[in-house]
Structure 1
Amino acid sequence: MSSHLLIVLSWLTGSTAFYYLTVRRGSLTGPGALAALALGTLVATRVGPAWLLPLFVFFLSSVVIGRLLPVAADAGDSKDKQPRDLVQVLCNGGVYGLIALLDLHPALLLVSMAVATSDTWASELGKYLRRPTYDVLQWRRVPPGLSGGVSTGGTLGGAAGAMLIAGLGYCLLPDYGAAMLIQVAGLGFMGMLLDSILGATLQARYRDPVTGALSDVQHPGSTLYSGYHWVTNDLVNVLAIALMVGAALTTFTP
Structure 2
Amino acid sequence: MENIIGLASSLAYIFFVIGIATVVAKKSQGASETSRKVVHILVGNWVFLTPLFTELWAVVLVPFTFIIINSLSLKYTLISAMERNDDSLGTVYYAVSLFFLSGLGFILGFRALPYIGVLTMAYGDGFAAITGKKWGKRKPFPFAPLKSLAGSLTVATAAFLATFGSLLYFQKDFSTERSLLFILFIALLNGIFSAFMELTGKKGCDNLTLPIGSGLFAVLTMEFGTLPYFLYLAAALAILVYAFRKEAITPDGMVAALLTAVTLYTLGGFLLGSSLILFFILGTGVSKMKTKEKSEAEKTQEHTGARNWKQVLANSLPAVILSWIYFFTDEPIYLLLAFTVFSAAASDTFSSEIGMMSKGKVFHILTGKPLPMGVSGGVTLQGLVAGIVGSVLLSLPILLAFGPEEYLLGVLLGFFGTIIDSVLGASLQRKYEDVSGKLQDIPAHAMDLPKKGFRLVSNNAVNLLSLTLVAIVGYVVTTL
Q: Shared topology, TM-score over 0.5?
A: yes
Tell me the alpha carbon deviations over residues 38-92 of structure 1, each in whole angstroms, 9 at most, x when there is no partner: 0010111112223212111111111111223353315642311x11000000000
Do the aligned residues in 2 keep the contact of 1:199 with 1:233 (CA within 8 Å)?
A: yes
Indicate yes or no: 2:419 matched with 1:193. Answer: yes
Indicate yes or no: 2:466 matched with 1:204. Answer: no
Percentage of matched positions with identical amino acids: 26
Query: Number of residue pairs matched?
Result: 248
Equivalent positions of 1:239-254 (< 5 A) are 239-252=465-478
Indicate yes or no: 2:282 matched with 1:61. Answer: yes
Q: Quote the residue 1:78 is aligned against.
A: 302
Q: Quote the residue 1:213 is aligned against.
A: 438
Structure 2 distance, partners of 1:151, 1:222, is: 28
Aligned residue among 378, 381, 406 for 1:152: 381
Tell me the alpha carbon deviations over residues 215-237 of structure 1, each in whole angstroms, 9 at most, x when there is no partner: 00011285522101111000000
Q: CA deviation at 1:25?
A: 1.4
Larger radius of gyration: 2
Structure 2 distance, partners of 1:97, 1:12, is: 17
Moved more, 212-221 or 69-78: 69-78
Do the aligned residues in 2 keep the contact of 1:116 with 1:241 (CA within 8 Å)?
A: yes
Structure 1 distance, partners of 2:400, 2:474, is: 21
Indicate yes or no: 2:246 matched with 1:25. Answer: yes
Q: Which is bigger in relative contact order (C-alpha 8 A, separation at least 6)?
A: 1
Q: Quote the residue 2:352 is aligned against.
A: 123
Structure 1 letter corresponding to 2:458: T
Structure 1 distance, partners of 2:313, 2:461, is: 10
Do the aligned residues in 1 keep the contact of 2:396 with 2:407 (CA within 8 Å)?
A: yes
Structure 2 distance, partners of 1:11, 1:17, is: 10
Gaps of 5+ in 2: 1-177, 186-225
Structure 1 letter corresponding to 2:273: L
Residue 168 of structure 1: SS of its match in structure 2? helix
Do the aligned residues in 1 keep the contact of 2:346 with 2:394 (CA within 8 Å)?
A: yes
Structure 2 distance, partners of 1:13, 1:66, is: 24
Structure 2 letter corresponding to 1:190: F
Moved more, 29-38 or 95-104: 95-104
Indicate yes or no: 2:318 matched with 1:95. Answer: yes
Do the aligned residues in 2 keep the contact of 1:206 with 1:224 (CA within 8 Å)?
A: yes
Structure 1 distance, partners of 2:261, 2:465, is: 21
Do the aligned residues in 1 keep the contact of 2:352 with 2:383 (CA within 8 Å)?
A: yes
RMSD between aligned alpha carbons?
2.3
Structure 2 distance, partners of 1:57, 1:12, is: 14
Gaps of 5+ in 1: none
Do the aligned residues in 1 keep the contact of 2:275 with 2:342 (CA within 8 Å)?
A: yes
Indicate yes or no: 2:407 matched with 1:181. Answer: yes
Task: Tell me: CA distance 1:187–1:12, structure 2 relative to 1, closer, same or farther (3 Å).
Answer: closer
Indicate yes or no: 2:276 matched with 1:51. Answer: no
Higher percent of residues as helix: 2
Do the aligned residues in 2 keep the contact of 1:23 with 1:30 (CA within 8 Å)?
A: yes
Q: CA deviation at 1:18?
A: 3.8
Q: CA deviation at 1:10?
A: 4.8
Moved more, 98-107 or 198-207: 98-107
Do the aligned residues in 2 keep the contact of 1:133 with 1:143 (CA within 8 Å)?
A: yes
Q: So what's the TM-score if we normalise by structure 1?
A: 0.89
Structure 2 distance, partners of 1:134, 1:101, is: 39
Do the aligned residues in 2 keep the contact of 1:107 with 1:252 (CA within 8 Å)?
A: no
Aligned residue among 333, 339, 345 for 1:110: 339
Q: So what's the TM-score if we normalise by structure 2?
A: 0.48
